[in-house]
Structure 1
């Protein structure tokens, strides 16, 4: 493709179709609410979120990518924690998520025992197969496997003495073939419908750890889904020469599984995708954005930088090379040109219970929207 960057393009305005932070805040508030329970594996969190996004697509006027349904079902194994989540150290009860997290691969167990120190941060209850680690920061994740031991990480600020005794009551449930869905919609192109620009974001997060604690996932990735929905609403009202496709992937936190499944079972020919833009962690931006694959596609990256400079949107657009750190990766591996961008600066909450809507600034949301719409326009020149 040849790209033409003109003053007219750079002055392209979306003022007639306001996409402001009010919309973003409402979407992030919604997606991080207790109802969606961290968009994960218990309380049907991911299922509820997928249905919500599909309903949004339909209300905007998007069409399913294939058939009559916005859903692309797939499945994978996952270890979950739907019930008891109790840990006491030295007789003091700790708070799930804030004071401790359980290793995502852990087995469930109800036991009490003594801890033996192995090094400065590791303590073992060998009889009950419990490994306790003291950490400066707690960061949770998702496991596709279940181990024959239980690992627990404790925030060092939550304990005043070296751990000597432990009491746990943890319930896990390993689910084979957990059912998930990618959410897939399109706005058909007016001139070249077989040429596709794809916008993607993962909508899943970590879900719940026990029956009383969930991980809201405001920045990761309610922020990216909010931006995608804003773009979907805009392009539904303003069809482009190319088809604009929108993908919300499940299973990203479990190993970028939804995008892998789509690239192996595409609902549109991958060769028709002229460029893909993946957004994750889009809630800040004080220090600009980092663009993964910038060094792989230098012409498109230079175009993005020119548009940003002309519009004075973000303080910095930083390049990064290839990385398997989000849903763009499997498309790149299949030969689809793709960028993944994430915002820099601001809050540091990540994969923890503190990634909440009320502290997510969304202060560069409008700038990101304008940068993306101008970039997508330029890609069609």
Structure 2
């Protein structure tokens, strides 16, 4: 434990010495590294990420929101794949993540058999209760339940012949009470401490499938975590008239579970939140950003656009209505004014093994950072 803490402190020291885009690049590289194993349910990936983020916040001078710990603990059920994930089709061993995925709600199975074609994309091994599908893109997720059969998705582009025989050895582990937590910090306001601006991002991702394949989650959502940490670092050094709060959610990939838990067990009075900005998929931006809830809060959206035009930060700020597609949603449902911002253009990797730091441009990281600073100035300058 002491060695682990020393490693985290060393990483924190190295990262806080960097600035701007260098800081962002180093942070994304770190969060997507093998050490964090996709920030999921195997190899303690999510736990390691939570510890790392907490150490970062402490190094910035950001205080625990609860007054004691950065961690707001909660738990939920999840299906995981910590062991063997071996698949052969037509006698050829396939590579997990690249050639195939096991759907996250599948049960484990060991056996071999013949596949019967059902239609152009579905094949069944009835004896072993296995369904094989051909997919245009392999996209993984997280699930809280387990089926009584197994679904194997193959990359359609890589199949030169139709699947006819199958041999598998797949181990799943259903965890009924996976323990994790949100990471929550504050920088107290100097003039109006009961008026709060909140920045959020989910730090969890999909973790690993077997012991050789993990999903790095660079754009989703090491990029958002990095932007919120950049803001936490800045505001830790520059306290504002309003209180600045920072929440990193767990369980987003399994169904917005962390943000739902926080809104049901808030560590701050939700009525005191002047505005909440949720950041997810922040690694590109050559085509601008989209703002969910823009049409719900037209006054704040007009301010955001005005700030962007004055500063010439992003090429476009698109308006979108209400959507339950990220962690802002349960706050909005509780009456908290909130935006969810995501960047547009560039790489298409999403929920796959190709969402890596090396190909994430972070080309608008600094512009978005500065846009958010000025937007917050506008919110705090209201009369």
Residue pairs, 1:39-54, within 5 angstroms: 39-54=39-54
Rounded to whole Å, the distance in 2 between the matches of 1:372 and 1:168 is 50
Q: Is the 8 A contact 1:89 1:165 kept in 2?
A: yes
Rounded to whole Å, the distance in 2 between the matches of 1:83 and 1:18 is 38
Rounded to whole Å, the distance in 1 between the matches of 2:63 and 2:104 is 37
Rounded to whole Å, the distance in 2 between the matches of 1:131 and 1:291 is 39
Residue pairs, 1:1-381, within 5 angstroms: 19-381=19-381
Secondary structure of 1:66's partner? coil
How far does the alpha carbon of each residue in 1:312-366 deviate from its partner, in whole angstroms, 9 at most, with x for none?
Answer: 1000000111011100000000000000000000000000000000000001111
Rounded to whole Å, the distance in 2 between the matches of 1:252 and 1:18 is 29
How far does the alpha carbon of each residue in 1:103-127 deviate from its partner, in whole angstroms, 9 at most, with x for none?
Answer: 1000001110111111110111111
Rounded to whole Å, the distance in 2 between the matches of 1:219 and 1:29 is 11
Please list every run of at least 4 consecutive aligned residues from structure 1 whose deviation after the TM superposition is greater than 3 angstroms: none
- Give the paired residue count: 365
How far does the alpha carbon of each residue in 1:141-199 deviate from its partner, in whole angstroms, 9 at most, with x for none?
Answer: 00000110000100012221000011111000000110011000000000000110000
Rounded to whole Å, the distance in 1 between the matches of 2:311 and 2:113 is 62
Normalising by structure 2, report the TM-score: 0.94
Rounded to whole Å, the distance in 1 between the matches of 2:41 and 2:258 is 15
Rounded to whole Å, the distance in 2 between the matches of 1:130 and 1:197 is 49
Structure 1 gap ranges (5+) = 1-16
Secondary structure of 2:235's partner? helix
Q: Is the 8 A contact 1:186 1:246 kept in 2?
A: yes
Structure 2 gap ranges (5+) = 1-16
Secondary structure of 1:124's partner? strand
Rounded to whole Å, the distance in 2 between the matches of 1:167 and 1:345 is 40
Normalising by structure 1, report the TM-score: 0.95
Q: Is the 8 A contact 1:19 1:369 kept in 2?
A: no
Cα distance change of structure 1 residues 247 and 20 upon mapping to structure 2, 3 Å threshold: same
Secondary structure of 1:349's partner? coil
Rounded to whole Å, the distance in 1 between the matches of 2:120 and 2:159 is 14
Shift of 1:68: 1.1
How far does the alpha carbon of each residue in 1:25-47 deviate from its partner, in whole angstroms, 9 at most, with x for none?
Answer: 00000000000000000000000
Rounded to whole Å, the distance in 2 between the matches of 1:312 and 1:159 is 47
Rounded to whole Å, the distance in 2 between the matches of 1:157 and 1:276 is 42
Shift of 1:377: 1.0
Rounded to whole Å, the distance in 2 between the matches of 1:114 and 1:379 is 63
Rounded to whole Å, the distance in 1 between the matches of 2:203 and 2:236 is 20
Rounded to whole Å, the distance in 2 between the matches of 1:117 and 1:21 is 51
What corresponds to 2:13 in structure 1? Answer: none
Shift of 1:19: 4.8
Shift of 1:304: 0.4
Secondary structure of 1:224's partner? helix
What corresponds to 2:4 in structure 1? Answer: none
Shift of 1:250: 0.3
